[in-house]
């Protein structure tokens, strides 16, 4: 009797949990969670609790002791520390895609790589056109980014029956875009380099890749190495989140036959939900708090606002579409089955949803508080407009699709 009751309770528990499990497995779900936390952040920034919200973000937190004491604001711990987990997952994802995934063969990588490059260069040029000769030129990298969670989430909502090739194209494009963003951060948003710290970081990195080469499976060793690399980069002037990416590259991926059981696959499987449903929402909550008033809306008409808006809303779709269309017209690549050229324009519009990555780069690009707030407002506005435009395009493309 007791056994029957226990089994019945177990079954009822499974039925209650299953909808939540299905939700967290959907591609769109992380984008939904991000949106909720971004709205909460904006609500707090425009509420009577705005001062308390800002004060909490600037709380000083210290870790360590003596010469190894690190003291940073809560906001910096999130942006420099917690975000390293997000970039670690991105590093593993990029490695997997290039070794075993959609970016494995040169023929399949050419189209998304070319589109991603076009989608980074054109926005950067548009921003530069508005800000050339001004101190705000430092923000040229903000409009280059694509938020993979939001873009895939909007695609899943707008076109649930979109051709598989379009989903693959947008995913691969966003991954290459992430790689481009990582390079931009490493090369252009690192400053005051400190040689001894960077040499120590290089030694740690060599050790990590040696462990990977030997197929060492100890998570603890990689964790210690990653922590040392993060600290060395922080002291050396390279943004410490780059340590997360390089650590991801160093995790053993196995072979084509053993990849499913590799350390990389296991860590990616375990950490992706934490990255998507904890790290990124916390980042959104701490960085998307934008006070909306007449001044902030008016600032969209400044060179910073116009440059970012033009880059994301116009430059992204133009760069992505023209690059893809050009390769197809020149017969360098074939149009994927079931895909129309207009699909690339729709994908380009969704590529203009910069949100988290654009906000992250904006925080590195601008030291002036007013310019940073303008950049954040422009990123959110352009991301919303891009999402609406992409939704309309895919809804139009899907008319008559059974």
Model confidence at 400: pLDDT above 60: no
Which tokens sit at 136?
Answer: 């705000």
Higher pLDDT, 368 or 2: 368
Q: What is the pLDDT of residues 170-212, one digit of tens each?
A: 888 888 888 888 888 888 887 777 889 999 999 999 999 999 9
Q: What is the pLDDT of residues 247-298, one digit of tens each?
A: 999 999 888 778 778 899 999 989 988 988 899 899 989 988 888 776 677 7
Q: What is the pLDDT of residues 31-81, one digit of tens each?
A: 788 888 989 999 998 999 989 999 999 999 888 777 777 889 999 999 999
Model confidence at 9: pLDDT above 60: no
Q: Tell me the C-alpha distance between 253 and 155, whole Å.
A: 30
| pLDDT for the residue 16 | 46
Q: What is the pLDDT of residues 79-91, one digit of tens each?
A: 999 999 999 998 9
Conformational region of residue 61, where left means phi above 0, alpha means psi within -120 to 50, and beta covers everything else: beta
Domain spans, the chain: 29-190+239-397
Q: What is the 3-state secondary structure (H, E, C) of the chain?
A: CHHHHHHHHHHHHHHHHHHHHHHHHCHHHHHHHHHHHHHHHHHHHCCCCHHHHHHHHCCEEEECCHHHCEEEEHHHHHHHHHHHHHHHHHHHHHHHHHHHCCCCCHHHHHHHHHHHHHHHHHHHHHHHHHHCCCHHHHHHHHHHCCCHHHHHHHHHHHCCCCCHHHHHHHHHHHHHHHHHHHHHHHHHCCCCCCHHHHHHHHHHHHHHHHHHHCCCCCHHHHHHHHHHHHHHHHHHCCCCHHHHHHHHHHCCCCCCCCHHHCHHHHHHHHHHHHHHHHHHHHHHHHHCCCCCCHHHHHHHHCHHHHHHHHHHHHHHHHHHHHHHHHHHHCCCCCCCCCCCHHHHHHHHHHHCCCHHHHHHHHHHHCCCHHHHHHHHHHHHHHHHHHHHHHHHHHHHHCCCCC
Residues 6+ apart with CB under 8 A from 220: none
Model confidence at 401: pLDDT above 80: no
Higher pLDDT, 375 or 331: 375
pTM of the model: 0.81
Q: Tell me the C-alpha distance between 57 and 41, whole Å.
A: 12
Average pLDDT over residues 342-357: 92
Residues 6+ apart with CB under 8 A from 262: 252, 253, 254
Give me the architecture of the 29-190+239-397 domain, per CATH.
Up-down Bundle (1.20)
């Amino acid at each position: 009797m007791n056994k029957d009751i226990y089994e019945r309770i177990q079954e009822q528990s499974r039925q209650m949990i299953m909808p939540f499990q299905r939700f967290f497995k959907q591609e769109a779900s992380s984008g939904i969670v991000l949106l909720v936390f971004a709205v909460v952040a904006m609500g707090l920034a425009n509420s009577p609790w705005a001062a308390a919200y800002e004060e909490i973000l600037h709380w000083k937190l210290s870790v360590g002791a003596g010469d190894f004491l690190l003291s940073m604001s809560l906001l910096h711990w999130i942006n420099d520390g917690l975000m390293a987990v997000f970039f670690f997952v991105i590093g593993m994802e990029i490695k997997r895609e290039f070794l075993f995934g959609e970016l494995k063969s040169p023929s399949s990588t050419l189209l998304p790589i070319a589109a991603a490059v076009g989608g980074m260069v054109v926005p950067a040029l548009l921003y530069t056109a508005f800000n050339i000769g001004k101190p705000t030129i430092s923000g040229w990298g903000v409009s280059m980014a694509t938020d993979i969670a939001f873009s895939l989430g909007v695609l899943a909502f707008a076109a649930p029956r979109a051709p598989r090739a379009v989903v693959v194209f947008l995913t691969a494009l966003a991954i290459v875009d992430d790689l481009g963003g990582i390079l931009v951060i490493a090369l252009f948003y690192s400053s005051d380099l400190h040689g001894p710290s960077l040499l120590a970081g290089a030694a740690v990195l060599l050790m990590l890749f040696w462990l990977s080469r030997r197929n060492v499976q100890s998570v603890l060793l990689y964790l210690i190495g990653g922590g040392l690399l993060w600290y060395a980069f922080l002291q050396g002037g390279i943004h410490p989140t780059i340590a997360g990416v390089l650590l991801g590259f160093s995790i053993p991926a196995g072979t084509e036959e053993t990849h499913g059981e590799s350390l990389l696959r296991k860590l990616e499987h375990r950490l992706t939900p934490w990255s998507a449903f904890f790290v990124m929402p916390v980042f959104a909550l701490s960085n998307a708090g934008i006070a909306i008033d007449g001044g902030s809306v008016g600032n969209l008409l400044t060179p910073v606002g116009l440059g970012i808006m033009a880059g994301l809303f116009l430059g992204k779709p133009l760069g992505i579409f023209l690059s893809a269309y050009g390769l197809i017209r020149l017969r360098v690549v074939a149009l994927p089955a079931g895909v129309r050229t207009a699909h690339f324009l729709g994908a380009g519009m969704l590529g203009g949803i910069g949100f988290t990555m654009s906000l992250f780069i904006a925080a590195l690009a601008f030291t002036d508080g007013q310019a940073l707030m303008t950049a954040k407002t422009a990123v959110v506005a352009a991301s919303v407009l891009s999402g609406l435009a992409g939704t309309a395009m895919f809804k139009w493309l899907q008319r008559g699709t059974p």
